Amino acid sequence: MSSAYRPYRSIDRRLCRQIMVGNVPVGGDAPISVQTMTNSLTTDIAATRAQIDAAAEAGADIVRVSCPDEASTVALKEICAGSPVPIVADIHFHYRRAIEAAAAGAACLRINPGNIGKQDRVREVIKAARDHGCSMRIGVNAGSLEKHLLDKYAEPCPEALVESALDHARILQDNDFHEFKISVKASDVFLAVAAYQQLADAIDCPLHIGITEAGGLRAGTIKSAIGLGNLLWAGIGDTIRVSLSADPTEEVKAAYEMLKSLGLRRRGVTVISCPSCARQQFDVIKTVEVIEDRLAHIDLPISVSIIGCVVNGPGEARETDIGLTGGGKDTHQIYVSGMADHRLSNGDIVEHVVEMVEAKAEAIRVAQKAEAAETADKELPKKMKA
């Protein structure tokens, strides 16, 4: 639904520069990109590539890979070459790894220039980034703030994180390098959110947002949703990573759910379902579980309501592409684009809804192809004239 008709749904995104991470634009008017990170040994190329492929399949736009040693940057070359999405090389301690990663095909280097050391080393890394078309991410973390800032502020606080970020940024700016984004992460949501709010006002580069070390799947997702939801709702954040002690694909799924909840990205099937109660006319929980699983492969944005009875079913179905409302006498109502369409009986629910959503996805795909062909037809005479 357009926010023009429903201003209470509007989010005004913070204006900022746009940079490129490979072929993915970050910042400006680009969609908020979703990132995750592999946790396999980078030297295990097959395992790392499998994780990248799975993350990309789940919708990741960008994947980060650690490069702790030279063997990892050697492996990175093969990993980048076969990757369906741009790769960010995560560099912590040694500037040479950054130079090697840039040469290996990384689209972005996650490195803090203030930690590189001598000026000529900084210049070498920036030159490598320029030569290979790499952008950079400055990644400030409350857990590894510089000693002089801890001495100055006594503890990690928003001002310390922002000062650290701006110090690192100045080094790149002084070298006329502006293709960077920044993160100021903390595991404490209050600290992270306050730091990002201050940073958003202090610099015009894109912001990579995340709540670091957020925890396991459930607790970490909730904590991240509170912190990142707060920022995204305020228009802050150009690329997002949900840090979970869980499989990287879970991070991607959690990120999308956050973005979808705020209408910032639409991808895959969104299921609206009731919690169920004694009024339910079919087993709502089981049905939703199976339908979500069966439709996980759909990447086109389609909304489905699965509601146990007529109390809320027709109302929710009005707002979704396909709706199911539990009715009486073992039959249930199916809605299409908000209108009552046909009824079906108990045993058929899952198969029927899955088939309908798959058919809808196919129809969207065909329409998109036809539209693309029509646009290409219109563009061709213009190109020939030119």
Closest residue to bound ligand SF4 by CB: 308
- Least separation in angstroms between residue 283's CB and ligand SF4 is 11
Alpha-carbon span 90 to 17, nearest angstrom: 23
Contact 63, 88 (CB under 8 A): yes
- Is 277 known to sit in a ligand binding site? yes
- Least separation in angstroms between residue 335's CB and ligand SF4 is 14
Binding mask 271-290 for ligand SF4 (x = CB under 6 A): ---xxxx-xx----------
> Given the complex with ligand SF4, which of 264 and 324 has the nearer CB atom?
324
Residues 218-277 touching ligand SF4, rule: CB under 6 A, are 274-277
> Given the complex with ligand SF4, which of 149 and 322 has the nearer CB atom?
322
User: Helix 95-104 vs helix 119-131: angle between axes, to the nearest 10 degrees?
Assistant: 10
- Is 157 known to sit in a ligand binding site? no
- Is 309 known to sit in a ligand binding site? yes
> Given the complex with ligand SF4, which of 229 and 314 has the nearer CB atom?
314
- Least separation in angstroms between residue 288's CB and ligand SF4 is 11
Size of the site for ligand SF4 (CB under 6 A): 11
- Least separation in angstroms between residue 302's CB and ligand SF4 is 21
- Least separation in angstroms between residue 194's CB and ligand SF4 is 38
Residues 297-326 touching ligand SF4, rule: CB under 6 A, are 307-309, 311-312
- Least separation in angstroms between residue 275's CB and ligand SF4 is 5
- Is 80 known to sit in a ligand binding site? no
> Which residues of this protein are in contact with ligand SF4, per CB under 6 A?
274-277, 279-280, 307-309, 311-312
**Binding site for [4Fe-4S] cluster: which residues?**
274, 277, 309, 316
